[in-house]
Amino acid sequence: MTQLPDLQGRHIVLGLTGGIACYKAADLARELGKAGATVQVVMTEGAERFITAVTMQALSNRPVYTSQWDARPDNAMAHINLTREADAVLVAPASADFIAKLAQGRADDLLSLLCVARPTERCALLVAPAMNREMWAHPATRRNVVQIVADGAVVLGPAAGDQACGEVGDGRMLEAAQLCDALIAHFQPKRLAGRRVLVTAGPTYEAIDPVRGLTNLSSGKMGFAIARAAAEAGATVTLVAGPVALATPMGVARIDVKSAREMHAAVLPLAPTHDVFVATAAVADWRPVDAAGQKIKKVAGQAAPSLVLVENPDILAAVAALPGHPYCVGFAAESHDVEQHARAKLERKKVPLIVGNLGPATFGRDDNALLLVDALGTRALPHADKLTLARQLVGEIAQRLPSAP
């Protein structure tokens, strides 16, 4: 079965206010369309100074609205009509002036009018600030942001970095892909609201010498997808990641480690403060007893060095044995007999749920198939992309938790 795009069937009003970050709105309109949404662009007079309505019309495939006096609607009420079919209003970029308008309830142009006139119970308002760092830090802006959040708006960002004025600091609008992901997350069911979730992901690397080591083919993609899905579901998520080159999911706190012992040291103090622990990482079972301090050189005619290995700490079993331990979910990446090995791991680790899969068939790929194994039996999650499977797994975990966080 083909998975529908994440925003399929969603109608989004994309509002642009005056600011150089309007150039990112062009990419954002495209990203939202690729995710399945229909996009209706509304621009302020200031936004038209930075990007043309023609550009936004071409990218959204819909006429752009710029004035509350637009005569196209039969009832001359564009500010009403535009939000009645919308699932959300996303203002990106949102200038300091526009945030002030929202905080004060002012409605003197089409975009501010429709923000005030939208049916708040079913049409969310999401705001992506974009301004100079001093403007973002100004007490008035800080008060206004607090006020619009209290009024129900969701503030996305801003990020820190280089600014168009040449300064560096907070105030950059999030990138188009980040804003699209944030909008997708907004619509996901909040099954884990109020929960704290700890996830491990990726391989570990066990040094032989300064340039060589023992590792495996895990890409970390499944664990990162689970971290994202848990955050989308409303959880506070901490991700402990082995050496992988993956972007941190939005809203997720990340701790980078390298070896199994480093992962163990990071996880054990955190686990008691979390409700759920998902051990997705492919942790090395063994490591060299002693890593050489310098590169081991190959010498002609000399036998290859032998490695003496010692067992690494068992992170999942250690967390499961803690007093007041979180709900523990383990992963079993197998090369054969997935169900048999997963069930043996379930009993050996003394955890309530093991997720089995064929490691060689999924390492490095964007898709997977999972087998959920617990004391009552097994359930297959059929082949799909990893984010889809992660969302299904998060739903399964949410159902198994006690009702109150």
Which positions are annotated as active-site residues? 165
> Are the beta carbons of 275 and 196 closer than 8 angstroms?
yes
Q: How many CB atoms lie under 10 A from the CB of residue 257?
A: 21
Tell me, letter by letter, the H, E, C secondary structure of the chain: CCCCCCCCCCEEEEEECCCCCHHHHHHHHHHHHHCCCEEEEEECCCHHHCCCHHHHHHHHCCCCECCCCCCCCCCCCHHHHHHHCCCEEEEEEECHHHHHHHHHCCCCCHHHHHHHHCCCCCCEEEEEECCCHHHHHCHHHHHHHHHHHHCCCEECCCEEEECCCCCEEEEECCCHHHHHHHHHHHHCCCCCCCCEEEEEECECCEEEECCEEECCCCCCHHHHHHHHHHHHCCCEEEEEECCCCCCCCCCEEEEECCCHHHHHHHHHHHHHHCCEEEECCECCCEEECCCCCCCCCCCCCCCCCCCCEEECCCHHHHHHCCCCCCEEEEEEEECCCHHHHHHHHHHHHCCCEEEEEEHHHHCCCCEEEEEEEECCEEEEEEEEEHHHHHHHHHHHHHHHCCCCC
